[in-house]
Structure 1
Amino acid sequence: MSDDGRFEIPKEMRSMAEASFEQARQTFEKFLSSAHQAAGSFEDRGAAARTNVKDIGSKAVAFAEKNVQTSLDYAQALLKAKDLTEVMRLHSEYVQGQMRALAEQASEMGQIVSRAAMDAAKPKSSGEA
């Protein structure tokens, strides 16, 4: 603690955390690159299935990207927190925001999957192979 009673993170710990944070960000960027490549590999499927799978895959990747980016931003904000009160405020904001985001994402993904299932269940017309 400092003389004014605030909790301070030692400089060495902060440096180590910042290095770990940067490594996590680089790993995430590599993951995103691979995920985008994997989502694109579904293009060899049938037209309707390809569109639905690509939409679902793209949406899942977008959600994952947003959630990880939010988490990385949160971690970076924690590294800059000046005291325990700020850490608690940041944590509360992060948890509330993630709960809202996850509820919205689950709803949107459910709608997309339902549409894909209905499209897959439609009988083929006589003009389709």
Structure 2
Amino acid sequence: MTADKKGFEIPDQMRDFAEKSVDQARKAFDDFIVMTQKAVSNVEESTSAVQSGAADMNRKALGYAEEHVDAAFRFAQQMVRAKDVEEMMKLQQDYLRRQMEQLGEQAREFSDTATRTAQEATKAARD
């Protein structure tokens, strides 16, 4: 250890220790940033999957609503043209049966879409 008359000299061991400490702190910070970026990316991917699924469900709901309104108008036209009460009853039975079948199918499609969206969001969160 050499002393300079102008001041104090830091020993080499202390310089090495300080340099290693700074290097370790820098590496820890870099690792922290990488992990934070991964977490943010996972959240973004999960959010994207949920938004995509919600948009798909919105499109389906709008399409279903259009189908139901169209079916109701067709039913109304058929009812107006019916010749007697017996024909009206048959038209109504057929209309209700078709509507119930469609509602069942649409509920299954909604359920499938919701399940798929949840699975994609979960997968994105894990990756």
**TM interval, short-chain normalised:** 0.5 to 0.7
Q: What is the letter of the counterpart of residue 121 of structure 1? A: T
Let me know the Cα RMSD of the aligned residues: 1.5
Aligned length: 80
Which residue in the other structure is 1:67 paired with? 68
Matched, 1:116 2:100: no
- What's the secondary structure of 2:119's corresponding residue? helix
The answer for unaligned runs of 5 or more in structure 1 is 1-45
- 5 Å-filtered alignment, 1:85-100, equals 85-100=86-101
CA distance in 1, matches of 2:100, 2:49: 33
Q: After superposition, what is the alpha-carbon deviation per residue over 1:89-112, rounded to whole angstroms, capped at 9, x for unaligned?
A: 100110111111111111111000
Q: CA deviation at 1:72?
A: 1.4
> Is the CA contact (8 Å cut-off) linking 2:50 and 2:118 kept in structure 1?
no
- What's the secondary structure of 2:53's corresponding residue? helix
Which residue in the other structure is 1:101 paired with? 102
Q: CA deviation at 1:60?
A: 0.9
Q: Which has the larger radius of gyration?
A: 2
CA distance in 1, matches of 2:66, 2:49: 25
* Structure (1/2) with the larger helix percentage: 2
Determine what percentage of the aligned residue pairs are the same residue.
34
Q: What is the letter of the counterpart of residue 114 of structure 1? A: T
> Is the CA contact (8 Å cut-off) linking 2:79 and 2:88 kept in structure 1?
yes
Which residue in the other structure is 1:57 paired with? 58
Which residue in the other structure is 2:80 paired with? 79
- What's the secondary structure of 1:109's corresponding residue? helix
Q: CA deviation at 1:124?
A: 5.0
Q: After superposition, what is the alpha-carbon deviation per residue over 1:65-121, rounded to whole angstroms, capped at 9, x for unaligned?
A: 111111111111111111101101100110111111111111111000111111222
- 5 Å-filtered alignment, 1:31-46, equals none
CA distance in 2, matches of 1:121, 1:71: 39
Which residue in the other structure is 1:18 paired with? none
